[in-house]
Amino acid sequence: MNAKNITLRPGRPADAVKIAAMSRDLIETGLGWSWGPDRVARSIANKDTSTLLACERERVVAFAIMYFGDEHAHLNLLAVRPSHQRLGIGKHMVGWLVESAYAAGIATIHLELRASNYTARSFYRSLGFTESAYIPGYYRGREMALRMVRVLRRPGMPLPAWSSPKLPKS
């Protein structure tokens, strides 16, 4: 498998069923299904949410859904098919989302994952996220979550001043 054949694109309403099935099978295993097609479709339609897909030709091999608030973003979901893991696809997708958040003036990006998912914990730490809190019973009252955060700037700090470039005098 070669990551060079992978393209990133925004999610479209027609992708909701595929994304929801991947969430059910790769993220929500054993927990029930909370990110069904309707919820995914609402996220895709939400102007404050970015849905990013990694595709090999027409096949969706990974996806991410991230909500952008005024100062904080929340990475709701990220999944890469097992056949495409460890190729840098997830890292590339998170990098794209972090750059988008930085450009949007976001101060922090938050996410939750199963506290028992040591592979994901290591992955996010390698991308600059730090562990910030444990949340008992977060997943259907049965499983503990770990909240992680990546700080892009201190919340409440003003954004750097920006002025438009001056046009040369003719």
Active site residues: 112, 124
CA of residue 26 relative to chain centroid, distance? 14
Give the H or E element holding residue 113. strand 108-114
| Spatial distance between the Cα atoms of 101 and 83, rounded to a whole number of angstroms | 28
DSSP 19: H
CA of residue 11 relative to chain centroid, distance? 12
Cβ distance 98 to 75 under 8 Å? no
